Amino acid sequence: MSEPFQRTLAPFYCPYCGEETLRPAAQPTGAWHCDSCLRIFELHFHGVSTYRESEAATW
Ligand SMILES: [Zn+2]
């Protein structure tokens, strides 16, 4: 059985401060470190939606 597909996602900007001073964090594996605001965060891909908000019924 093969391993589940896993792709490293690379952010262009810090989601907290908007700066581009990102580098891979030493720990945890797969996390990103922002040199501007010193936050460490991860990105997760949860799948593809079949739902579009623009097609939702309006109340
Ligand atoms: Zn930041």
What is the whole-number distance in angstroms between the Cα of residue 6 and the centre of ligand 1?
25
Q: Give pTM, 2 decimals.
A: 0.68
Look at residue 3 and tell me if it is in a domain: no
pLDDT of residue 5: 55
Distance CA 27, CA 47 (A): 25
Contacts 24+ apart (CB under 8 A), 26-33: none
Neighbours of ion ligand 1 (CB under 5 A): 14, 16-17, 34, 36-37
Domain count, the chain: 1
Look at residue 32 and tell me if it is in a domain: yes
What is the whole-number distance in angstroms between the Cα of residue 18 and the centre of ligand 1?
6
Look at residue 30 and tell me if it is in a domain: yes
pLDDT of residue 59: 55
Residue 34 belongs to domain spanning: 9-44
pLDDT of residue 26: 92
Distance CA 59, CA 49 (A): 22
pLDDT of residue 55: 72
Look at residue 26 and tell me if it is in a domain: yes
Distance CA 7, CA 51 (A): 23
Look at residue 20 and tell me if it is in a domain: yes
Look at residue 58 and tell me if it is in a domain: no
pLDDT of residue 19: 98
Look at residue 38 and tell me if it is in a domain: yes
Task: Compute mean pLDDT per 10 residues along the chain, 59 residues long, and list them.
Answer: 60 96 92 97 90 72
